C-alpha cells in the first residue's frame, strides 16, 4: 500500500521549489474574487496572499492531501512580507516541514515556506499548520 507523503515525511523534509509567479490576468482574477471597498489598491504589485495561495495549492498536491479518505483542516496561517512583489515578477517558493506529529487520530503538520525572487533574495515567508485525519493507525 502506498501512503501519501504527509504520512512518511520527516521534519526537515523540503518541498518545491514551486514557481508562484503571478501573471497580470491571474492578479486581476484574484483581485476581483477578493474585491470590495476594503481591498487595498496594490498598484503594479500584488497581494502577498495570492502567492501563499498558489504555493499552498502546490504543497497540498505534493503532500498527497487529495488522497482518498483524508480529511484536512487548515488550522493556521502566518504570513510575513519583506517587500512588495510586482505582478509578473518571478518568485519561487520552497517549503520545509517544521512539525509532523500524531495526536490521537489526527496528524498535525506545520510547513514553513520561503518566497524568493530570481536573485535568491527572500521577499516573504509563511507558516501553515494543518490537521489531517490519520489515514492508518
Asked if residue 99 lies in contact with residue 13, where contact means CB atoms within 8 angstroms, the answer is no
pLDDT tens digit sequence for 6-51: 888 899 999 999 999 998 888 878 777 876 555 566 677 887 888 9
Please state whether 28 falls in left (phi above 0), alpha (psi between -120 and 50) or beta.
alpha
pLDDT tens digit sequence for 62-85: 888 877 677 888 899 999 999 999
Report the pLDDT value the prediction gives residue 137, as an integer from 0 to 100: 45
Mean pLDDT of 111-130: 97
Number of domains making up the chain: 1
Residue 80: give its domain's CATH number: 3.10.129.10
Report the pLDDT value the prediction gives residue 61, as an integer from 0 to 100: 87
Asked if residue 94 lies in contact with residue 114, where contact means CB atoms within 8 angstroms, the answer is yes
Amino acid at each position: 500500500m502506498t501512503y501519501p507523503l504527509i504520512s512518511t515525511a520527516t521534519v526537515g523534509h523540503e518541498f518545491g521549489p514551486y514557481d508562484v509567479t503571478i501573471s497580470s490576468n491571474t492578479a486581476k482574477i484574484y483581485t476581483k474574487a477578493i474585491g470590495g471597498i476594503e481591498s487595498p489598491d496594490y498598484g503594479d504589485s500584488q497581494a502577498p496572499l495570492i502567492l501563499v495561495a498558489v504555493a499552498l495549492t502546490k504543497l497540498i498536491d505534493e503532500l498527497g492531501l487529495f488522497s482518498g479518505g483524508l480529511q484536512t483542516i487548515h488550522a493556521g496561517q502566518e504570513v510575513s512580507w519583506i517587500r512588495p512583489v510586482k505582478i509578473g515578477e518571478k518568485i519561487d517558493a520552497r517549503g520545509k516541514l517544521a512539525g509532523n506529529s500524531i495526536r490521537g487520530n489526527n496528524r498535525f503538520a506545520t510547513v514553513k515556506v520561503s518566497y524568493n525572487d530570481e536573485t535568491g533574495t527572500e521577499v516573504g515567508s509563511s507558516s501553515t499548520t494543518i490537521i489531517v485525519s490519520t489515514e492508518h493507525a
